[in-house]
């Protein structure tokens, strides 16, 4: 099945149907339907606690759904017979925290999984890592260690590491939330370039400008359900639901305070 999955992932997409996830009595996802076509960028937006990150983690089974199905690259990843490792080899994920190995150089961080998981020889792994480090603007940083880098540079290394596994689908879980405002732009710029190159991407973000300018579709979630979904310009530029309108008002004008007369 592993070889079949590798072939199928040449056109990776995601189809989520009736997804449910609970932690004990707390239902976090309440029947989510969502589709990401191959080559599309879909941004998930919404308040904290709305289930966005949980949904993302369910896609590559970092969280086990309680109901519904998730089709990734043509395979139901919730099928108990699925080769989860083979599926994950085709799905890159970038987290809020960088999760780099502090004792390894930047280059080694980008080659260790290639060698251990993909069984690439070191010269090949080095060549691929160097290409992806150059792609994120860090081609000269291979011999540095994570603590010698800024937060934005570390996150760019994390993206290069994920790209070095040749993923067909990229998942981003609020990749700029732990960064200083001055370094947010450099990470978003890399993600814009990935979108231009046709990478299929599912992105949880609070960056409204990025979602508006880069996403093919925006999905607004609240309290475990999809409240509004559609083209980015429509959802962000002309929201139809009161809940989305209120959310945008708070995000775009965070210092505004309603005063009772």
**Residues 160-190 pLDDT 10s:** 999 999 999 999 999 998 888 888 998 999 9
Residues 6+ apart with CB under 8 A from 14: 34, 35, 36, 59, 70, 71, 72, 169, 200, 202
Per-residue pLDDT tens digits for 84-121: 888 888 899 999 888 899 999 999 999 999 999 999 99
* Domain spans of the chain, in order of start: 2-43+52-252
Phi, psi of 72 (to 5 degrees): -125, 120
pTM for the whole structure: 0.91
CA atoms of 129 and 125, how far apart (whole Å): 6
Cα separation of the two ends of the chain: 66
CATH class, range 2-43+52-252: alpha beta
């Amino acid at each position: 099945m592993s070889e079949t999955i590798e072939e199928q992932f040449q056109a990776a997409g995601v189809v989520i149907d009736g997804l449910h996830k609970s932690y004990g009595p707390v239902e976090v996802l309440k029947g989510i339907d969502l589709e990401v076509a191959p080559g599309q960028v879909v941004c998930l937006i919404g308040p904290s606690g709305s289930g966005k990150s949980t949904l993302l983690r369910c896609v590559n089974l970092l969280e086990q759904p309680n109901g519904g199905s998730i089709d990734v690259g043509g395979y139901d990843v919730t099928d108990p017979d699925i080769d989860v490792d083979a599926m994950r080899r085709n799905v890159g994920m970038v987290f809020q925290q960088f999760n780099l190995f502090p004792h390894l150089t930047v280059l080694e961080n980008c080659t260790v999984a290639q060698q251990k998981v993909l069984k690439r020889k070191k010269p090949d792994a080095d060549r691929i890592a160097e290409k992806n480090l150059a792609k994120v603007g860090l081609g000269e940083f291979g011999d540095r260690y994570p603590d010698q880098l800024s937060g934005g540079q570390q996150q760019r290394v994390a993206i290069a590491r994920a790209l070095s596994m040749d993923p067909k689908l990229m998942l981003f879980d609020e990749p700029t939330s732990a960064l200083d405002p001055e370094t947010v732009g450099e990470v978003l710029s890399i993600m814009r370039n990935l979108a231009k190159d046709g990478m299929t991407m599912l992105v949880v973000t609070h960056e409204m400008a990025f979602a508006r300018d880069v996403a093919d579709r925006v999905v607004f979630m609240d309290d475990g359900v999809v409240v509004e979904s559609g083209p980015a310009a429509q959802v962000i530029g002309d929201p139809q639901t009161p809940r989305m309108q209120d959310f945008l008002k708070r995000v775009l004008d965070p210092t505004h305070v309603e005063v009772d007369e």
